[in-house]
């Protein structure tokens, strides 16, 4: 899509607010969250159902930018729902905000295509993505959505500063995650691998114990692996919105 076409559209939006990044390598940084409406998956543990079956308002891109400007953070996380759903106008919000000087991270569920060079070029007139990073989920079996994972086609688009998130609910999920890491490890240099517990399904210490057993493999392959706890669920009530 061309930028000019995008600017004439209205986009279903759930909320835009400031908080701290609760996860991954940006954890703790003050951040503006831009939550789009709609998701193509239905994960068993979804904690943001309101992002696809709740209320939304239609906003023009210039209104979204205006609200992000007003909130005054240099970092933006575009989340959902699913921001990169294909054939949807919302897919271009991250490119638009990055073009306007924000450091943008896209939280994407791993079942939709990341931008390719042509798509970036069409929108920005530049071949490379700038100010734009991915936090790419790999859905594990306990989500019931693992059959929708896109692997190689997305992994080959990852660069330094991107991250992958495995949300794990049990040992089978850990086994599945490590199998994916072993199969595609050549794509994960410079990409942080996060292991995140499904709240109240698995103890974080169990994940650490599991990862410690295969630490040699991570070290030999120069892979950066971390336990990822959701800070906002520690600081605030686990169901509290807009924090």
Residue 46 annotated as part of some ligand binding site? yes
Residue 83, interface with ligand SF4 (CB under 6 A)? no
Answer yes or no: is 213 a known binding residue. Answer: no
Give the span between the Cα atoms of 117 and 22, in whole angstroms. 30
**Binding flag, residue 230, ligand SF4 (CB under 6 A):** no
Q: Is 243 helix (H, G, I), strand (E, B) or coil?
A: coil
Nearest to 136 by CA among 127, 125, 147, 149: 149
Q: At what angle do helices 204-213 and 171-184 cross, to 10 degrees?
A: 40
**Counting contacts by CB under 6 A, is residue 238 touching ligand SF4?**
no
Candidate segments 15-23, 77-85, 87-95, 123-131, binder of ligand SF4 by CB under 6 A: 77-85
Could you give the string, one character per residue 91-110, with x where binding to ligand SF4 holds by CB under 6 A and - elsewhere?
Answer: ------------------x-
The correct pick among 21, 32, 51, 149 for binding ligand SF4 (CB under 6 A) is: 51
Stretch that binds ligand SF4, among 14-22, 36-44, 88-96, 122-130 (CB under 6 A): 36-44
Query: Which residues make Cβ contacts (< 8 Å) with residue 130, sequence separation at least 6?
Result: 98, 124
Residue 126: partners with Cβ closer than 8 Å, 6 or more residues away: 120
- Distance, in Å, from the CA atom of 65 to the CA atom of 97, rounded to the nearest integer, reads 7
The answer on whether 79 is annotated among ligand-binding residues is yes
Among the listed ranges 44-52, 54-62, 170-178, 225-233, the one in contact with ligand SF4 (CB under 6 A) is 44-52
Kindly give, in sequence order, each residue whose CB lies less than 8 Å from that of residue 151, ignoring residues fewer than 6 positions away.
180, 183, 184
Within residues 138-197, the interface with ligand SF4 by CB under 6 A covers: none
Is 42 one of the binding residues for ligand SF4 (CB under 6 A)? yes
Annotated binding-site residues read 20-22, 35, 39, 43, 45-48, 79, 81
List contacts with ligand SF4 (CB under 6 A).
Answer: 39, 41-43, 46, 48, 51, 80-82, 109
Annotated binding-site residues for S-adenosyl-L-methionine read 45-47, 81
């Amino acid at each position: 899509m061309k930028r000019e076409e995008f600017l004439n559209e209205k986009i279903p939006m759930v909320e835009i607010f400031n908080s701290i990044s609760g996860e991954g390598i940006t954890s703790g940084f003050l951040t503006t969250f831009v939550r789009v409406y709609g998701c193509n998956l239905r994960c068993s543990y979804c904690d943001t159902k309101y992002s696809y079956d709740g209320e939304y308002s239609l906003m023009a891109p210039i209104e979204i930018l205006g609200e992000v400007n007003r909130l005054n953070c240099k970092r933006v996380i575009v989340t959902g729902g699913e921001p990169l759903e294909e054939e949807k106008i919302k897919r271009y919000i991250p490119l638009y905000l990055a073009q306007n000087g924000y450091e943008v991270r896209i939280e994407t569920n791993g079942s939709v295509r990341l931008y390719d060079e042509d798509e970036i070029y069409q929108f920005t007139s530049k071949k490379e993505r700038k100010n734009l990073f991915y936090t790419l989920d790999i859905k594990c079996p306990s989500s019931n959505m693992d059959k929708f994972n896109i692997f190689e086609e997305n992994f080959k688009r990852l660069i330094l500063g991107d991250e992958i998130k495995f949300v794990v609910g049990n040992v089978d999920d850990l086994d599945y995650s490590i199998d994916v890491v072993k199969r595609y490890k050549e794509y994960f240099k410079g990409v942080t691998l996060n292991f995140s517990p499904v709240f109240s399904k698995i103890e974080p210490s169990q994940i650490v114990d599991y990862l410690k057993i295969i630490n040699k493999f991570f070290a030999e392959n120069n892979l950066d692996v971390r336990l990822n706890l959701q800070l906002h669920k520690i600081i605030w009530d686990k169901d509290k919105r807009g924090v």
